[in-house]
Amino acid sequence: FVIYWIITIVIAGIWEVIENTILYLVGIKVELDSAANIITDITIWGIGGAVSWYMTDLMFLSEKYIRAYYIYGIMCLIMGLLIFVIFGFMTTNY
């Protein structure tokens, strides 16, 4: 589990380098990210990676896979609703 999480963190770091060099040079990004934004992005990748690997472990390697499906379904529903509400609020008020 830990090695997969470390791989996720490394990929997040590589993505931040790509995002702030190649995408900036090509013109897809108009400004570089701040250090705080980069750290936040890598932290979010790390948390998401840890949860994803844990859920994968529960669903495919554990005998508690039925509970994992319910937990995963509830998490997806909550995230979908949050994203819908947040983006709906942002698009109607800005």
Domain range list for the chain: 63-94
Number of H helices, E strands in the chain: 4, 0
Is residue 94 pLDDT above 60, yes or no?
Answer: no
Digit-coded pLDDT (tens) for 64-91: 777 777 887 888 888 878 877 777 666 6
pLDDT at 93: 61
**What is the pLDDT at residue 91?**
64
pLDDT of amino acid 14: 94
Please name which of 8, 14, 16 lies closest in space to residue 49, comparing C-alpha atoms.
8
Among the listed residues 68, 70, 50, 48, the one whose alpha carbon sits nearest the alpha carbon of residue 59: 68
Q: How many CB atoms lie within 10 A of CB 45?
A: 17
Closest listed residue to residue 79, CA positions, set 39, 44, 53:
44
CA–CA dist 34, 47 (Å, integer): 20
Model confidence pLDDT, tens digit, residues 26-62: 888 888 888 988 898 899 889 888 888 887 777 777 7
Q: Are 4 and 53 in contact (CB under 8 A)?
A: yes
